Amino acid sequence: MPPSLPVSANAPLNADLHSHSVVSDGTLTPEDMAARAHAAGVQLWALTDHDEVGGVPRARAAADALGLPFVAGVEISVSFAGQTVHVVGLGVDEHDATLGAALARNRGGREPRARAMAAVFDRLGITNTYDGALAHVGNPELISRTHFARHLVERGVCRDMNDAFRKYLGDGKVAHVATPWAGLGEALGWIHGAGGVAVVAHPARYRFSPTVEYALFSEFTAHGGRGVEVVTGSHTAAEVVRYADLAREFGLAASRGSDFHGPGESRVELGALPALASDLTPVWQLLDAARPLS
Ligand code: AMP
Ligand code: MN
Ligand code: MN
Ligand code: MN
C-alpha cells in the first residue's frame, strides 16, 4: 500500500496521474520520474506507460523511498470507430497475468508497424529510420511514433517533434501506419480484471464527430469505465470546461495528469496543472491509494 495521502479530502491534491518513462516513449527512467515528480511537489503520482506495466515496480520502489504516494498505471491503445483512443488504467495490479498477456499482445503490432513506417520513409528518400528510431527506444517491444519523431528531429529532417507529427507521423499523415489495437470493451475488461479504474485519456485530442464522441462515452460507461481526464497537459482552458461538463453529464470521475514524456518535450511539467473544478469527483477517490481519505 502506498503511504497515506498528506492532505485532507477537501483540499486540492496535486495529483499527476498520467506520465511516461523510457519503458514506453518517455525519456526518463522510472526512478528519475519519481524523483522529478517528488521535486515538483506532486502529492499523488501515476506512471502510465503505453501498453506496458514493466516500469511500475521500479517506479513504486522509487516513490516509496521518497514517501511519494504512487498509483500503478497503464495507458492502453484502443481502436474505436477507425481511430486510436487511449484508455488509462489506474490502480491496476501489475502482476495480473491476464493484463500482462493482453498488453504483450497489444504491443505485438508495434514492430511490424514500425517496419512499415520505415518503408514509407524509404520511399520518401529518408532511409534507415527504423534503426534510427530504435536507437531512441528503451523497451524493444515498445517502438512508437514518438521514437521516429525524435530520430527525424535529431537528423534535421524536422524542426521539432510537433513538426514531425504534422508532416509525417500524425494520424492520416504519409508515414502513419494504422495498426489494430485492442477493442474498448477488451481493454476495460483487462483493467477491471486487474483491479483498476478505467479513464478516457486526453479526450479533446480525438477527431470524432459529436455523435461518435457520444458513442465512445456511452460504450465506455456501459463497459464500466469510471473516469475521464478533464485536466491534461494537452487540453486548452476551454477544453477543460467542456470535458468537466462531459464528466458531469456521464457521471464520470475526473482525472488530472500532465502526460509528461520528458524535459523539453512536454507542454507542462509534472504536476504543473490547474486544479479540477471543486464539484467534480476526483478519480483518486476511487483508488485504493485514496481510501485513507474517505
Ligand atoms: P504510437 O503509440 O506509436 O501511435 O504513438 C503515439 C504517441 O505519439 C503519443 O503517445 C504521443 O506521445 C506522441 N504524439 C502524438 N502526437 C504528437 C505531437 N503532435 N507531438 C509530439 N508527440 C506526439
Ligand atoms: Mn506517448
Ligand atoms: Mn495518449
Ligand atoms: Mn500518454
Neighbours of ion ligand 2 (CB under 5 A): 25
The model's confidence at residue 290, banded by pLDDT at 50, 70 and 90, is very low
The model's confidence at residue 5, banded by pLDDT at 50, 70 and 90, is low
pLDDT tens profile 230-250: 999 999 999 999 999 999 999
pLDDT tens profile 105-161: 999 999 999 999 999 999 999 999 999 999 999 999 999 999 999 999 999 999 999
| 253 Cα–ligand 2 center, Å | 23
Question: Is the model's pLDDT at 229 over the cut of 90?
Answer: yes
Nearest CA, atom 12, ligand 1:
146
178 vs 5, residue with greater confidence = 178
Task: Tell me if 192 CB under 6 Å of ligand 1.
Answer: no
C-alpha cell at 67: 514517501
pTM of the model: 0.95
Nearest CA, atom 5, ligand 1:
145
**Rounded to whole angstroms, how far apart are CA atoms 11 and 8?**
6
**Rounded to whole angstroms, how far apart are CA atoms 234 and 213?**
18
Q: Which residues in 8-121 belong to E strands, given as ranges?
A: 15-16, 44-47, 70-80, 83-90
Nearest to 294 by CA among 248, 253, 242, 265: 253
What type of residue is 172? G
Question: Is the model's pLDDT at 4 over the cut of 70?
Answer: no
pLDDT at residue 267 in the model: 83
Task: Tell me if 144 CB under 6 Å of ligand 1.
Answer: yes
What are the φ/ψ torsions at residue 212 (nearest 5 degrees)?
A: -70, -35
Order of strands across the sheet that contains 197-200: 15-16, 44-47, 70-80, 83-90, 197-200, 227-232, 253-257
**Rounded to whole angstroms, how far apart are CA atoms 202 and 242?**
12
